[in-house]
Amino acid sequence: MAAAPGPDADGDRRSAADAVGVAVLGACAGWSLITAAAHDGRPEGVLLAVLAVAAGYAAGRIGGAVAPVGAPVAAALAGVALTLAVPRLAPGPQIGAPLGHAGATAAVLTLAAGAACCAAWGTSRPAVRFALRLLALGIAVLAGFLGSTTGCVTCVAVLLCSLAAGRIPHRGTALAVLASVAALVTGLTWSVAARAVPSGPGGAVRERLTPHRVDLWQDAWRLLAEEPALGAGPGRFGELSATSAHSLLSDGRPHSAALQQAAEQGIVGVVLLAAAFGWVLYALWRGPRPTPVTLTAGAALTALAVIAALGNALSFTAVSVGAGLLAGTATARPLPSHPVSRTPEESHPRNAGHAPA
């Protein structure tokens, strides 16, 4: 039987994950400045997003260590309160159908449901665990009540994934599957943007996604083809996109995180965005929390990645902070005064001495 990893080994794993995170976020910020300087872009939005993720992650690590159950519960309730109190989630002109702010609402509620499910796995009291799962279900119902079909679906998906996570002893394979889901959806958006989908199915996809959104994606693809290395510069999509320029009310974004990175920061920007998501999954894989907690957080963040691939969710600071907060909470090591709840599979003697897999 393998020997149990000591505190030094655990600390080394966490330090490695933290070092990767610092390097990736620093590279994202640095590359935005380079591309902005090359094309007179505006990197403030990217820098704010990086700062929001870093701040949320740090707050999550602290809160998860001090209150491993209370912190995610507070985050879940804060997400619900924010959605109800600030329905638009951003100041300024609001986009109407078919784009709108629905993606941000779905993202915030999905993260809130994920936080509630993480808190449920963090407690050893069955009644409290059941109540927290009811909270997650209530968040899904709220999403439907607010007209966010996407949010309702993703919240239910996160809840179901969380319930299944208790029967998965090895987190590595499950996290790889989640990464594949995000990559598959992102690949679909790129196929649509590149007109690589056959005309028959392509027409159906275009109508489902709305022609306006698809036209924005195709403009982003054109900008990438013109400047594959550096992109057009951060914040310049709105002025270079014909579809955006001819829209009566536009937010100047292509409504796809990957395509926005591609259009404004080139291939390197896309690689850095993928690296940021990969770092989060890596931190969850190496994290000290029980497997159900890490997989629940991974499912919620993957759902966010899917929403962001099809909309402008990452353009809202609240979403970036929430993503960092959930990731930080799920990778925090609770203080010794807070015992960690474990599943029967993890508590079994034959599994007690193994590091997360």
The answer for residues whose C-beta is within 8 angstroms of residue 170's C-beta and 6 or more apart is: 291, 357
pLDDT confidence of residue 13: 65
User: What's the CA angle centered on 286, arms 284 and 291, to 5 degrees?
Assistant: 60
pLDDT confidence of residue 97: 38
Supply the DSSP symbol for 285.
H
pLDDT confidence of residue 336: 81
pLDDT in tens, 165-201: 999 988 999 999 999 999 999 999 999 999 888 776 6
Residue 2 lies in a domain: no
Burial of 342 per CB tally in 10 Å (0-12, 13-18, 19+) = middle
**Phi and psi of 267, rounded to 5°?**
-60, -40
Can you tell me the mean pLDDT for 310-317?
Answer: 89
CB atoms within 10 A of CB 325: 29
Higher pLDDT, 340 or 21: 21
First-to-last alpha carbon distance for the chain, in angstroms, is: 15
| Most confidently predicted of 38-42, 98-102, 111-115, 189-193 | 111-115
The band of 335, judged by pLDDT with boundaries at 50, 70 and 90, is confident
Residue 87 lies in a domain: yes
The band of 341, judged by pLDDT with boundaries at 50, 70 and 90, is low
pLDDT confidence of residue 10: 57
pLDDT confidence of residue 209: 80
Supply the DSSP symbol for 3.
P
Burial of 116 per CB tally in 10 Å (0-12, 13-18, 19+) = buried
pLDDT confidence of residue 96: 39
CB atoms within 10 A of CB 226: 11
pLDDT in tens, 229-262: 999 999 999 888 888 877 766 677 888 999 999 9
Residue 168 lies in a domain: yes
Residue 343 lies in a domain: no
Percent of the chain past pLDDT 90, that is, above it, reads 65
pLDDT confidence of residue 339: 53
**Phi and psi of 297, rounded to 5°?**
-65, -40
The answer for residues whose C-beta is within 8 angstroms of residue 94's C-beta and 6 or more apart is: 88, 100, 101
pLDDT confidence of residue 220: 94
Residue 350 has pLDDT above 60, yes or no: no
Can you tell me the mean pLDDT for 118-141?
Answer: 96
Residue 356 has pLDDT above 90, yes or no: no
Residue 355 lies in a domain: no
Burial of 145 per CB tally in 10 Å (0-12, 13-18, 19+) = exposed
The band of 14, judged by pLDDT with boundaries at 50, 70 and 90, is low
* Structural domain range at position 93: 8-335
Could you give the CA distance from residue 193 to residue 219 in angstroms, rounded to a whole number?
8
Among 13-17, 23-27, 28-32, the range scoring the smallest mean pLDDT is: 13-17
pLDDT confidence of residue 8: 54
Q: What is the largest CA-CA distance in the chain?
A: 66
| Most confidently predicted of 91-100, 249-258, 289-298 | 289-298
pLDDT confidence of residue 27: 97
Among 26-35, 72-81, 143-152, 297-306, the range scoring the smallest mean pLDDT is: 143-152
Number of domains in the chain: 1
pLDDT in tens, 69-87: 999 999 999 999 998 887 6
Residue 268 has pLDDT above 50, yes or no: yes
Residue 219 lies in a domain: yes
Residue 208 lies in a domain: yes
Residue 3 lies in a domain: no
pLDDT confidence of residue 207: 76
